[in-house]
Amino acid sequence: EIVLTQSPATLSLSPGERATLSCRASQSVSSYLAWYQQKPGQAPRLLIYDASNRATGIPARFSGSGSGTDFTLTISSLEPEDFAVYYCQQRSNWPPAYTFGQGTKLEIK
Amino acid sequence: QVQLQQSGPGLVKPSQTLSLTCAISGDSVSSNSAAWNWIRQSPSRGLEWLGRTYYRSKWYNDYAVSVKSRITINPDTSKNQFSLQLNSVTPEDTAVYYCARDEVAVAGHAFDIWGQGTMVTVSS
């Protein structure tokens, strides 16, 4: 099973600052890496798919990069509504499976 | 606009079967490009994919190794929905359960549409 490790576990920043979140895979996932945002009491919301493609309706301040085993989610200038938990997710072809990282909590400093 | 609406009990007794349903609007369970998934989330296990069903000229299912012996996901084309059955549950199966769509044509290999979530507690 491919394991995804996210860092840091918690990131404390202020509105307007730049956020950089990391996701490392235990083996190559090609570009099959997605990012989600989750707020309390809500389902995860897809932000980025295939490493760098923004999902429908996602603001341009969210961007994704990377391939193979190292991936990054960048939020260029934090808005108050961006403070949440962020997860990465990969899909492996065989056996077919999806795994998630343990999450990064982005909190207001 | 695609929406997923979950239904099912929030309390299940140990050793019994957990059953949830996910009704689809705005898309078809028989879509040739989508897959219909169940995912759960708990503090101890985080987000955990459980399995999926999808149609590509015939029906297929894939299940996570961790639950493969206990899980069944079935499509219901007459009601445009799909269901989850998890047998022989224990308190470790206590979690929020989500249904979700994986539509390659829209979002690669990611889950772009989610149900509202159902908190399921396994307790006597």
Mean pLDDT by 10 residues, chain B (124 residues): 97 98 98 97 97 97 96 98 98 98 90 98 97
Secondary element (H or E) of residue A12:
strand A10-13
- Please name the residues between 6 and 25 in chain A that touch chain B, using a CB distance below 8 Å: none
* Domain A4-108 bears CATH identifier 2.60.40.10: yes
Beta strands in chain B (DSSP E): 3-7, 11-12, 18-25, 34-42, 46-55, 59-63, 71-76, 81-86, 95-103, 111-114, 118-122
Those residues with Cβ within 8 angstroms of residue A11's Cβ, 6 or more apart along the chain or in another chain: A19, A21, A104, A105, A106, A107
Sequence ranges of the domains in chain A: 4-108
Distance CA B49, CA B47 (A): 7
- Please name the residues between 49 and 108 in chain B that touch chain A, using a CB distance below 8 Å: 49, 52, 62, 64-65, 98, 100, 106-108
Say if residues A36 and A87 touch (Cβ distance below 8 Å): yes
Residue for token pair 């206990």: B70
Convert the pLDDT of each residue in A24-62 to its tens digit.
999 999 899 999 999 999 999 999 999 999 999 999 999
